[in-house]
Chains A and B, each alone.
Chain A
Amino acid sequence: MATSCTQKHLIRWIQLLLKCTIFLSLTAAAVSSRLFSVIRFESIIHEFDPWFNFRATKYLVNNGFYKFLNWFDDRTWYPLGRVTGGTLYPGLMATSAAVWHGLRKIGLPIDIRNVCVLFAPAFSGVTAWATYHLTSEIKDSGAGLLAAAFIAIAPGYISRSVAGSYDNEAIAITLLMVTFMFWIKAMKTGSIMHSTFAALFYFYMVSAWGGYVFITNLIPLHVFILILMGRYSTRLYSAYSTWYAIGTLASMQIPFVGFLPIRSNDHMAALGVFGLMQVVALGSYVKSQVSWQKFQTVMVVSLVFLLALGISALFALTYFGFIAPWTGRFYSLWDTNYAKIHIPIIASVSEHQPTAWPAFFFDTQFLIWLFPAGVFLLFLDLKDEHVFVIAYSVLCSYFAGVMVRLMLTLTPIICVCAAVAISKLFDVYADFSYFFSSSSAEKPNLSKRDRIMTLVTKLTVCGSFLAYLVLFVHHCTWVTSNAYSSPSVVLPSRNPDGSPALIDDFREAYYWLRMNTAEDAKVASWWDYGYQIGGMADRTTLVDNNTWNNTHIAIVGKAMSSPQEKAYDILKAHDVDYVLVIFGGLIGFSGDDINKFLWMVRISEGIWPDEIKERDYFTPSGEYRMDAQASQTMKDSLLYKLSYHRFPTLFNGVEGIDRLRGQNIRQVDIGNLDYFEEVFTSENWIVRLYKLKELDAMGRDLHTKGEFDRGSSRGIKKRVAKKPLLDVRV
């Protein structure tokens, strides 16, 4: 007896040790595969939104939390400004500031930039831990470990959490998984404490990402389905009521969310289910006291009555304006064409586009075909918590199909389901204990042939799945290193001899802005670059990636698509000093302003349909061209002129070759730039900066002045530009 007891203890210790080792190595794998970008490039903040988060974090660290919440930012959205403190989700910044302070306290003063850069990889370890616990609740700890391993390296999650990708999603997925983990625990046990933790992490999630609405609707949906399935229990009541009461109250503490939880339709489902829960609780109490037949009538009558009352109240409240109707982003989830027609600004964001099918395989590899198998297996023994996973899978599969960025929320559940499928498979096929059992009593009477065949089958299945797992690791590493580790601020490229090189035009230009312009200079650019200009160049911008004011963006769009004299007036009226355009025609950089031009036209057409017409920017045959066939409106537009100004001089002075679009650009079409003056063009011509010319001292309009100057300066040698040798390799 004593020996078996110590043996059990020993086994438990070994299990614990193994688990710890596995977790440590998982975290190491998760963190190290996210460090490609730091090793290839440097410790730098990526892309667009992270630059704002970084800037906000710096503000928080320098000014303290109180000032941060009251932050009015007058350096963006000039001249409106932005109530930044009240319009952001502070969770991310608060967490990294806390980390920064904590590290300082223990004597590790680290640059805030490094905290921000390494933030996402650090949290991926926590995500793996939460996924482990979630999956353990759903199946067992074996499946949990597999799920944790999958989520640690699945490219679908890495895409938003590589080092330097300092975005809200980096922390939000972690919080999503932790919240769900606590919810499943609470739902299973009915424990008020777990439920409170679920609510607190829900609060954290609300403070970190707008996607919290997903939780707000998924948990009530889960509860609702359970009630419909007749699985109401007092545990469910206790878990959900506690979560909703505390979670909702907590979510209203975030300034940006405010009273939305009781005002907007997005949150009404949760409230409705909360009400329903109370009714069901009462009903089930009554039901336990009287006969079923009596109860049936009572139930049907009161249900119909309540339903009618609830729905009519919802409509009435929405109608009278007490509850805000569904938001545009919500509609665009159901009707994929909605955004294109009504809100071009949402449709113009590339991550709001529908997902291409190969992306699913690219992001999750063999997990994507195990995913349905896992869901099916969960259907087989449909426990309460399985219903949750199924609801999550179905909803998120749809959402991920509609919007590329929601692939991120689908990935965790793919990992969980695939882990369930694989671990079920291994439960059956990796069970070799039967061959080692010594007692002959347990052995059924099988012929030797059968036994060998069983062994072969088991080995084949296990072997092939192990091979798949190895392939998966290779795929993940490959995808991470090739597709998701580019900061997009610095572009990888090659020298003519094939050696790697970096294209650093963005930072070159932003640094130029920082060092050579007045501190209060206003820079107009398309909104994509607003955050970067604010973060790297520290100059005032007209519009940025926050996109809260469509009209303001349309103004910039209108300026870009108008002829230069008109654009000059618009920009002057907004106090603009510099105009920044991104031009990829020389080097073949595809994300340039001309490729985004149609969105500028569309957005401004939405506000000024009389002045800007999308059709005018196409050739008569409906093509989008920049060469001789381009329409006159296109050739006159400011963006065309700013992009191609001086471009042909790189070639023969008459005609330049736009490598991105493969078209010949003629000097005749570009014409002269009278109202703007080129002040800076980066090495590979990706960023071009123009200054608005001062009004003429003699009172002539700038075009006349330009004509005059050109007449008087004939024969003076122009600056010779040299073509760079680099190529983009993206």
Chain B
Amino acid sequence: MVPKTTPKKADVASSASKFSDTISASYKAYCKQVSGDRQLQLIDTFCAFLVAVGVIQFLFVCAAKDSFPLNAFLAGFSACVGQFVLLVSLRMQVVNSFMGISPQRAFGEFVLASLVLHFLCLHFVN
């Protein structure tokens, strides 16, 4: 039994180290990317804020054990999710703009989509 488990353990250990390596490397790269770029910092702060708000809403529903006005919860939650993905899409274009779409146009499109999203949320939240 012993010889069988050791390689597994070693495997697990190595993959764990790989994990930590990967995460630290990505984190470093991320810090490098963000430092000195106010735009990205702003976007990421907003993203973090949205995640926090979304998590709080979800926890609230869990704590209250009731999602009674489900539409209200959904509206609030999907406003966070929707705005988050829109921001990430914008961020991707800020970092490396898509062919045929200038950063200015990307921002305009982002604003348009956000307006639509929030109009829908307002309508849904009643």
Q: A286-B22, A290-B25 are in contact. Are A189 and B100 (CB under 8 A)?
A: yes
Using CB atoms, name the residue of chain B closest to A196: B113
| 1/0 contact string of B39-80 vs chain A (CB within 8 Å) | 000000000000000000000000000000011001100100
Q: A191-B98, A298-B19 are in contact. Are A262 and B88 (CB under 8 A)?
A: no
Interface of B: prevailing SS = helix
| 1/0 contact string of B110-126 vs chain A (CB within 8 Å) | 10110011001101100
Which residue, A195, A237, A238, A290, has most C-beta atoms of chain B within 10 A?
A238
Which residue, B15, B70, B75, B109, has most C-beta atoms of chain A within 10 A?
B109
Q: A189-B100, A196-B113 are in contact. Are A238 and B89 (CB under 8 A)?
A: yes
Among A22-30, A242-250, A333-341, A608-616, the stretch in contact with B: A242-250
**Residues in A neighbouring B100, C-beta threshold 8 A:** 189
Residue B103 is within 8 A (CB to CB) of chain A in the complex: no
The CA-CA distance from A285 to B22 in the complex, in Å, is: 11
**A196 is contacted by which of B22, B75, B116 (Cβ under 8 Å)?**
B116
The CA-CA distance from A252 to B121 in the complex, in Å, is: 10
The CA-CA distance from A295 to B89 in the complex, in Å, is: 24
Query: Do B120 and A250 touch (CB < 8 A)?
Result: yes
The CA-CA distance from A237 to B85 in the complex, in Å, is: 9
Q: How far is the CB of A374 from chain B (nearest CB, A)?
A: 27
**B29 is contacted by which of A193, A289, A294 (Cβ under 8 Å)?**
A289
Query: Do B90 and A192 touch (CB < 8 A)?
Result: yes
The CA-CA distance from A237 to B90 in the complex, in Å, is: 11
Q: A252-B74, A253-B124, A286-B26 are in contact. Are A245 and B88 (CB under 8 A)?
A: no
The CA-CA distance from A294 to B19 in the complex, in Å, is: 8
| 1/0 contact string of A694-706 vs chain B (CB within 8 Å) | 0000000000000
Within 8 A of B (CB), among A254-290: 259, 262, 278, 281, 285-286, 288-290
**Residues in A neighbouring B93, C-beta threshold 8 A:** 190, 234, 238
Query: Do B92 and A246 touch (CB < 8 A)?
Result: no
The CA-CA distance from A252 to B74 in the complex, in Å, is: 10
The CA-CA distance from A242 to B109 in the complex, in Å, is: 11
The CA-CA distance from A298 to B26 in the complex, in Å, is: 13
Using CB atoms, name the residue of chain B closest to A235: B98
Q: A259-B74, A301-B15 are in contact. Are A246 and B22 (CB under 8 A)?
A: no
Query: Do B113 and A242 touch (CB < 8 A)?
Result: yes
**Residues in B neighbouring A294, C-beta threshold 8 A:** 18, 21-22
Query: Do A290 and B112 touch (CB < 8 A)?
Result: no
Q: How far is the CB of A54 from chain B (nearest CB, A)?
A: 29
Residue B99 is within 8 A (CB to CB) of chain A in the complex: yes
Within 8 A of A (CB), among B91-109: 92-93, 96, 98-101, 106, 108-109
**Residues in A neighbouring B74, C-beta threshold 8 A:** 249, 252, 259, 262
**Residues in B neighbouring A288, C-beta threshold 8 A:** 29
Q: How far is the CB of B117 from chain A (nearest CB, A)?
A: 6
Query: Do A295 and B22 touch (CB < 8 A)?
Result: yes
Query: Do B113 and A253 touch (CB < 8 A)?
Result: no
Q: A196-B109, A241-B85 are in contact. Are A297 and B15 (CB under 8 A)?
A: yes
The CA-CA distance from A289 to B100 in the complex, in Å, is: 27
Query: Do A252 and B99 touch (CB < 8 A)?
Result: no
Residue A594 is within 8 A (CB to CB) of chain B in the complex: no
Q: How far is the CB of A260 from chain B (nearest CB, A)?
A: 12
**Residues in B neighbouring A134, C-beta threshold 8 A:** none
**Residues in B neighbouring A249, C-beta threshold 8 A:** 74-75, 78, 82, 117, 120-121, 124
Residue A92 is within 8 A (CB to CB) of chain B in the complex: no
Query: Do A259 and B70 touch (CB < 8 A)?
Result: yes
Query: Do B21 and A290 touch (CB < 8 A)?
Result: yes
**B120 is contacted by which of A253, A262, A281, A297 (Cβ under 8 Å)?**
A253
Query: Do A241 and B89 touch (CB < 8 A)?
Result: yes
Which residue, A242, A297, A298, has most C-beta atoms of chain B within 10 A?
A242
**Residues in A neighbouring B117, C-beta threshold 8 A:** 245-246, 249
**Residues in A neighbouring B19, C-beta threshold 8 A:** 298, 301
Query: Do B98 and A298 touch (CB < 8 A)?
Result: no
Using CB atoms, name the residue of chain B closest to A203: B120
Q: A192-B86, A237-B92 are in contact. Are A200 and B113 (CB under 8 A)?
A: no
9 pairs from A and B in contact (CB 8 Å cutoff): A190-B93, A191-B109, A192-B90, A199-B116, A241-B88, A242-B113, A245-B78, A259-B71, A290-B22
Please name 17 further chain A to chain B contacts, defined as beta carbons within 8 Å, in addition to the given A289-B22, A297-B15, A297-B18, sorted by A numbering.
Answer: A190-B101, A192-B89, A192-B106, A192-B109, A196-B113, A234-B98, A235-B98, A241-B89, A245-B81, A246-B116, A246-B117, A249-B75, A249-B78, A253-B120, A253-B123, A285-B26, A286-B26
> Lowest 5 A-B CB distances belong to which pairs?
A238-B89, A245-B82, A241-B85, A192-B109, A193-B109
